[in-house]
Amino acid sequence: MKKVAVVFADGCEEVEGLSVVDVLRRLNIKTEMVGLTSQQIMGDHQILLTCDKVLDDSLLDYDLVAFPGGKIGAENLRDHKGLEKLMVTRYEAGKWNAAMCAAPIAFAHYGLLNGADYTCYPGFDEQTKQVAPTGKFKETITVTDHKNKIITSRGPATAWAYAYAIAEALGVETKQLQQGMLYNYLADNIQTSL
């Protein structure tokens, strides 16, 4: 069975992390919420999250590790030396890693975006381009770089697309769940309702 960790830091964008946890659990992918420094994490919008565990070396055992964004949350992920070491080890081992919104700044800081295709929240690409100049920024909803095993996405409204991209990278079919959650309906009709 595939196993995913979503790492939550104080100041995270709650909807981005919880959307991933929700979608993956609906798909019967074992998904754990990992607190960066504590089991209790305060999100950017003052929603208290209770994680399953606190960051430790078991992060190396997951098939995929995902980061939600949020400026403060992303900076906390970026600046945590223990997390950086674990993520570099995962990358060197050829494991999947994912970051969305502002969180690709952490990947850039760790050196994971050099030579990789990626996206992020508008404006944060200025930081990623400075730190990872050989990365290739794209303005698409999600980017899955199979060579570097990195998945990235843009922001809160793209959280479901990000979650489905994560599941698909792990070889899990998402079409039925997309229909059940009305994701296809939303994608097909959003332009008409605007």
H-only helix segments in 32-169: 71-79, 81-92, 104-110, 125-131, 159-169
Q: What is the pLDDT tens value at each position of the chain, 194 positions in all?
A: 999 999 999 999 999 999 999 999 999 999 999 999 999 999 999 999 999 999 999 999 999 999 999 999 999 999 999 999 999 999 999 999 999 999 999 999 999 999 999 999 999 999 999 999 999 999 999 999 999 999 999 999 999 999 999 999 999 999 999 999 999 888 788 765 55
Residues 70, 102 contacting (CB under 8 angstroms) = yes
Structural domains present in the chain: 3-193 (3.40.50.880)
CA-to-CA distance for 147 and 38, rounded, in angstroms?
33
Looking at residue 130, its pLDDT comes to 96
CA-to-CA distance for 113 and 117, rounded, in angstroms?
7
Sequence-ordered list of residues with C-beta below 8 angstroms from that of 132, at least 6 positions apart, any chain: 107, 108, 111, 112, 113, 114, 116
Q: What is the pTM of this model?
A: 0.96
Looking at residue 194, its pLDDT comes to 52
